[in-house]
Amino acid sequence: MATPLRVAALGECMVEIARRPDGSAALGFGGDTLNTAVYLARLGVAVDYVTALGDDPFSHDMLAAWAREGVGTGRVLQAPGRVAGLYAIVTDEAGERRFLYWRNEAPARDLFALPGSPALVEALEDYDLLYLSGISLAIWGAAGRAALYALADRVRARGGRVAFDSNWRPRLWADAGEARAAYDAMLARTDIALPGLGDERELYGDRDAEATFARIAGHGVQEIVLKLEKPGCVVAVGDTRVEVPAEPVAQVVDTTAAGDSFAAGYLAARLNGAAPEAAARAGHRLAAAVVQHRGAIIPREAMP
């Protein structure tokens, strides 16, 4: 029997406080790459989440929750005396959500600088796929990003691949120039890029999809899955491009984790040998199920 391909999803998961209409609050956990890791695990992929947590009760609760979902926790570093990052969701009368963050001292920011980091990096070199996002890049800072780039180079030198979801969040960066430099360095080490057309226009000023494809392909990326502003995506592998419309959804309830789940569906299908177009359809199918429920992680019985 062939050894299952191993995926490492890198990033940050935070404690989430969601304010209810009556003024009370619901407690949960949230993170873009963590959402993708959960859906990868549900789709049968061997995936480990790679981050750093504290030794506080919330950090322990996160580890237990991930383990229940089948996400590996053996690559999580813990920083004694520190606590996980936190954010709150406040919804106004019009239903618009606002996010408040307390994350500057979160251990995840020091993932590549903690005492256990050298051993962690060495272990990650043998994974088949590294997955991360623009949010991951933002939290690590220049020194952490340099360590990540070196890790990505070694993974690829050993035959592994790197997948990068742009997930642009302006407030996490000092300025757009810093973000562009980091994205460009990451794309130069990326095999599968999952950009969003709206993000690319805002960050790079791309006038259209053609400009985005040309720019990303110029970094040597062989597989580009461009998420469109209308429901759907365009998959480009080499000189071949195919537009794949999204699954029709009668009622969208919550778009949280739509992109995260799409990435999971796409990557899981590709890891299992599906062609890019079929993988995009798998991604759309999962995302269509996710947006019909509240929250990032849908009930298991709702999985397509």
Instruction: List residues with catalytic annotation.
Output: 260
Listed in sequence order, the residues at least 6 apart from 294 whose beta carbon sits closer than 8 Å to its beta carbon are: 253, 254, 256
Amino acid sitting at position 297: I
> Exposed, middle or buried, 74 (CB in 10 Å: 0-12/13-18/19+)?
exposed
d(CA 279, CA 283): 6
d(CA 33, CA 260): 7
- Measure the CA dihedral 300/103/106/29, to 10°: -10
Contact of 204 with 216, CB cutoff 8 Å: no
CA nearest to 136, candidates 116, 111, 155, 101: 111
Listed in sequence order, the residues at least 6 apart from 54 whose beta carbon sits closer than 8 Å to its beta carbon are: 78, 79, 80, 81, 82, 83, 84, 107
d(CA 140, CA 143): 7
Please provide the distance, in angstroms rounded to a whole number, between the alpha carbons at the two ends of the chain.
27
Angle CA 293–304–46, to nearest 5: 105
